[in-house]
Amino acid sequence: MTNEELAAVFERVADLLEIKGENAYRVLAYRRVAETLRTLGQEVSLLRAQGRLQEIPGVGKAIAEKIEELLDTGELGFLKRLEAEVPPSLIELLQIPDVGPKRAALFWKQAGITTLEALEEAARAGRLRTLPGMGEKSESRILEGIEALRRRSHRLPLGMARPMALRWVEWLRQQPGVIRVELAGSLRRWRATVGDLDLVAASHQPEALMDAFVHHPDVYRVLAQGENKASIETKSGTRLQLWCQPPEKFGSLWQYATGSKEHNVRLRGLAQKQNLSLSEHGLSDETGHEQHFADEESLYQALGLPWIPPELREDRGEIEAALKGQLPELLRKEHLQSELHTHSTWSDGAATLEEMIAAAYARGLRVIAITDHSAGLGIANGLTPERLHQQRAEIEALRQRWGDKLLILQGAEVEIRADGQLDYPDEVLAELDLVIASLHVSLRQSRSEITRRVLNAICNPHVDIIGHPSGRLLPNREGADLDWDTVLAEALKHGTALEINANPARLDLDDVYARRAAEMGIPLALNTDAHTPGDLDLIEYGIGIARRGWVEPPQIINTWSPERLLGWLRGRG
């Protein structure tokens, strides 16, 4: 079983226990361990073999035993007993807004409802309103919620969510009385996908801003509206939340709304140790005296911490690192000197070589590699070795014209074929300045097959970078089922760089494996995979992932000087 599959089992256990009415902290323990497994970056089965399961945070004796049972048998007796007690179809009810464990249990025990369909029928028939604590409004909210659930897609890729949120920010900034508006939530933490769009504002008249917000022309319905907080659903089915406080409280509000929830829980724990209580309003002591924070720095400082960059706020060790003064120095755009994965009209790009080169130069880069597709399987108008030679002549002419303003490399994005062979023979690869090997086809092969394909590329001395290693496409296509422990170990052994592909539809490596790779000392590449000049600006998404992965600038080959980069490439055959 993979970590993700184990996590799903524990998530299911947590849902069922919660509906059953179990102790909330027991439920929380299962949820925490599910999240930890998802972001571990190494196979639990390996840790198990080394007898180190209980070294995983949140794994004690009971959960370690359950992990072992799952790894050995693929099943969990505890879950089976639970499913016999609580109908598992109730879990889908938890997806409905305003339906949590208490109400799911209520519908089940008092009305015999166990499925979404039965709940909808009961609501339409007006039977829900007769249940204790329910009324007409709750009933219609639930009906609306079920419809919204069907209408609404899953999490939005950051590449769609961010531009949409920025348009709202611009609009809100123009409202009267507004002093400041910023992104918060997972948007600000640069998570690859985003659920709701979270925004924060500073204003002396919060209620007026809330009123303007819920009357924006794109609003489909208002989910909640109070003095300091409102929540709406747009016509396209996206949910937005806006918090507002006067400017003297903006720091604690922004920190609170940025999250993550887990990070905030840890901060409140730190506050408690000082006999203080932390909320979005600030820090209050036992006498009820409240200290306000206009900026985040002073809030973190009051808790005895340096300011923690939003991308790290996931409770993945950032609090401990901050307490020790050991936060990483994170990547910034100005560290980057090269773009090593671009396409032109020679294959499936939209711009000529010169247009791409000029665009890279205009963005202050010192190196660009042109890496058009190889001919394999006829995809993307890939280049045969003959056309590759013709392209080389054109690149040579451009080198003459651009002189030492910009280093232009001829590379290729070489297909890793379904049989594991690379698309060009070694003698063709040897002629190139830089070689990226990527998976595009047969991504659903078995773990052993697809891992062998990637290893074949990693071990080839001409291959410098593995492009978008998992092949995932957000939000729907899962990446290949790679044996990551082996892939990472071999990349380290051969010094082959793994790419963080900055295209928001990919963001691959993801933050978890980028972090693991960096910890191991594997070189990383950070590229946009640009097919148009404007795509070069997508680099900010990749920077977000690198920062979320705690990757420090020297670990990214794109931060190296042209001389160092060339030296590295030449040393690789």
Contact set with DNA (CB under 7 A)? 23, 25-26, 28-30, 33, 54, 57-64, 94, 96-104, 129, 132-139, 141, 185, 195-196, 198, 224-230, 239, 241, 257, 259, 261, 264-265, 268-269, 271-273, 277-281, 284
Among 303, 197, 293, CA closest to 246: 293
Q: How far is CA 43 from CA 5, 50, 379, 545, 551, in A?
A: 11, 11, 34, 21, 21
What is the smallest separation between the CB atom of 241 and DNA, expressed in angstroms?
6
What is the smallest separation between the CB atom of 330 and DNA, expressed in angstroms?
24
On the CB side of 220, how many CA atoms lie within 13 Å of its CA? 13
HEC string for 413-465: EEEECCCCCECCCHHHHHHCCEEEEECCCCCCCCHHHHHHHHHHHHHCCCCCE
Q: How far apart are CA 342 and CA 413, in angstroms?
A: 9
Q: Which is nearer to DNA, 77 or 364 (CB)?
A: 77
What is the smallest separation between the CB atom of 62 and DNA, expressed in angstroms?
4
Length of the chain, please?
A: 573
Q: Which H or E element spans position 282?
A: strand 282-284
What is the smallest separation between the CB atom of 198 and DNA, expressed in angstroms?
6
What is the smallest separation between the CB atom of 284 and DNA, expressed in angstroms?
6
Q: Which is nearer to DNA, 56 or 518 (CB)?
A: 56
DSSP 306: -
What is the smallest separation between the CB atom of 141 and DNA, expressed in angstroms?
6
Q: Which is nearer to DNA, 33 or 474 (CB)?
A: 33
Q: How far apart are CA 542 and CA 548, in angstroms?
A: 10
Question: What are the backbone angles phi and psi of residue 200, rounded to the nearest 5°?
Answer: -130, 150
Q: 274: which 2 tokens?
A: 């000082």
Q: Which is nearer to DNA, 62 or 179 (CB)?
A: 62
Q: Which is nearer to DNA, 59 or 370 (CB)?
A: 59
Q: How far apart are CA 265 and CA 132, in angstroms?
A: 32
The strands making up 277-279's β-sheet, listed across from edge to edge, are 277-279, 282-284, 290-291
Q: Which is nearer to DNA, 268 or 363 (CB)?
A: 268
* One-letter identity of residue 54: Q
> What does 133-146 look like in DSSP terms, one character per residue?
T--HHHHHHHHHHH
On the CB side of 181, how many CA atoms lie within 13 Å of its CA? 22
What is the smallest separation between the CB atom of 528 and DNA, expressed in angstroms?
30
Q: Which is nearer to DNA, 278 or 457 (CB)?
A: 278
Strands 193-194 vs 156-157: parallel, antiparallel or unpaired:
antiparallel
Q: How far is CA 59 from CA 37, 67, 252, 266, 513, in A?
A: 10, 9, 32, 18, 21
Unique residue bearing structure tokens 């160092």: 564
Q: How far is CA 452 from CA 281, 419, 492, in A?
A: 54, 9, 16
What is the smallest separation between the CB atom of 559 and DNA, expressed in angstroms?
34
What is the smallest separation between the CB atom of 285 and DNA, expressed in angstroms?
11
Q: Which is nearer to DNA, 214 or 358 (CB)?
A: 214
Q: Which is nearer to DNA, 59 or 498 (CB)?
A: 59
Q: Which is nearer to DNA, 239 or 453 (CB)?
A: 239
What is the smallest separation between the CB atom of 278 and DNA, expressed in angstroms?
6
Among 555, 510, 504, 520, CA closest to 328: 555
* One-letter identity of residue 402: W
Q: How far is CA 538 from CA 254, 317, 374, 545, in A?
A: 25, 28, 23, 12
Query: Residue 182 contacts by C-beta under 8 Å, 6 or more apart in sequence?
Result: 169, 188, 199, 200, 201, 254
Q: Which is nearer to DNA, 187 or 546 (CB)?
A: 187
Q: Which is nearer to DNA, 54 or 445 (CB)?
A: 54
What is the smallest separation between the CB atom of 243 and DNA, expressed in angstroms?
8
What is the smallest separation between the CB atom of 258 and DNA, expressed in angstroms?
9
Q: Which is nearer to DNA, 105 or 441 (CB)?
A: 105
Question: What are the backbone angles phi and psi of residue 547, rounded to the nearest 5°?
Answer: -65, -45
Q: Which is nearer to DNA, 222 or 492 (CB)?
A: 222
Q: 115: which 2 tokens?
A: 């499925």
What is the smallest separation between the CB atom of 216 and DNA, expressed in angstroms?
16
What is the smallest separation between the CB atom of 526 and DNA, expressed in angstroms?
30
